[in-house]
A and B are shown apart, each in its own frame.
Chain A
Amino acid sequence: MELTIDRDRCEGTGFCVRLLPGIVAVDDHRRAVVHGPVDDVDVEVLREAEAMCPTNALRLRGDR
């Protein structure tokens, strides 16, 4: 399963950072960036992060 963030869509709301600390962070331009693999993250939390993103910037691909 892969987590991607469309930087053009991201507005830096930070919901994903709160849900996925250590995996996602906001950079100096207030855009979210993925820092690490999501293999060990609860799928339900990943889906929550995807649904919470107000700009649809965060996207999950693949299955587990």
Chain B
Amino acid sequence: MIPVFEGTLLIDTYAEAREVLNDEQRFRQASKRESAAFLGGTVLTLDGDAHFERRRLLSRLVRHRLLARFETEVIDPTVTALLAEVESSGDGFDLVEFARRVFLRLATALIGLDRMPELDDDEVLTRYLYPLIEAVTMEWSPRPNADIHADGMVAMGGYVASLVAPAIERRCALVADGAELPGDLVALMVAEGFDDATIHREAVLFLNASTLNNATTLTHAVDETFRWVASGATERVEPGPHLVRRLVHETLRTRVVTPAVFRECLLDTRLASGREVPAGAKLSVRLPEANHDPAVWGPDADRFDPLRAIPGGEKPYGLAFGAGVHACLGRPLVLGSYSEDLTAGMLGRILATLLGAGIAPDPDRPPTLAVSAARRFERYPVRRVVPNDVQALLRTDAEATAWS
């Protein structure tokens, strides 16, 4: 159950959610205030001109020519190498951890964590990432915020000392030498003269944003795909190029990772629905409910159906990435830069590779959910099952074949 925060107005229809998120004149950012020590002053929490300028700077990280490089030079080799590594054990593997390792490589490249190859993945995940994930999503955890905050501060200190500070130091040296800077987050911010503390928090945001949500969505995509195929609903599937993309989109719509985002109303206002919202009201915009709104998605809105007809003017993934000026910066990276060319989108690439390789849920080891209001798997055991029905289905899919 998603908790209801006392004193907040629930916004749970698609139309109202979209209206609120798209109107920065009437509604300002109010998410993550309890996590200010970790995310204060980042592109996620800033508003107005400061937000625009930060977003303008950081958008350089998702330029189209860079997206192709991330996919072919970071994601593809990481997935291939990790698959070979985990499969050599012969016992299958945990898809959640696998996905976090893959996206940790993405975060490494995006942020510029040069020393990452010297460290052990498990150490980075366990000592830094997991406490930081809880620290930046503490509103959804049943643990006391003070405990989460304390653990998060220790993790942030270690993350900065081990990875971020050396990256800043190296880029400062490059600037002093007049050398060319790499095209990563730390380099961009050093070149613009940001103070270290701001860079640290932006590096925390990017570490979490790159790993947690993507790993969660990828795991749900595998889970939903196998459930869908097992349900026998694939009779309508015809050989075509877009099945994997549709699987990703429908997973994003039906399994929104973020339970809610928050906004504060700046002036007495009336929504298009007629609902009155007083100035100062805090709004809880419930993205999962909005994405299951039958008024938009039909009476079967709760059903996972990658073949569903998309309502005119809507995105197939609904509000999975939010909307408006605070819409997810990484959306082009997740989905690809365009629908038909340049880049395929990393979630689709990885999903196609895994499913094409015969990776399937382990029938002997059921998955477990994390203790959080945000529905995500704690562990999702998989192993290679060849042949399997999903693999057979994807073999008819030209796009999946091309990617895998």
Interface residues in chain A, defined as those with a beta carbon under 8 Å from any beta carbon in chain B: 8, 11-15, 18-19, 30, 47-48, 50-52, 54-56, 59
Contacts and interface: CB of A to CB of B under 8 A. Distances in A.
Interface string B291-330: 0000000000000000000000101000001011101110
Contacts of B323: 11
27 contacts: A8-B313, A11-B323, A11-B324, A11-B327, A13-B324, A13-B325, A14-B325, A18-B52, A19-B56, A30-B22, A47-B63, A48-B56, A48-B59, A48-B60, A50-B63, A50-B64, A51-B59, A51-B60, A51-B62, A51-B63, A52-B55, A52-B56, A52-B59, A54-B328, A54-B331, A55-B327, A55-B331
Contacts of A18: 52
Contact of B22 (A8, A11, A51, A52): A11
B321 to A, nearest CB: 8
Contacts of A52: 55-56, 59
A15 to B, nearest CB: 7
A59 B332 CA distance: 13
A12 B18 CA distance: 12
Chain B interface size, as a band, is: 20 to 34
A15 B56 CA distance: 9
Contact of B64 (A8, A19, A30, A51): A51
9 closest Cβ pairs, A-B complex: A54-B327, A51-B59, A52-B59, A51-B63, A13-B325, A56-B332, A13-B324, A56-B338, A56-B337
A8 to B, nearest CB: 7
A50 B329 CA distance: 13
B196 to A, nearest CB: 26
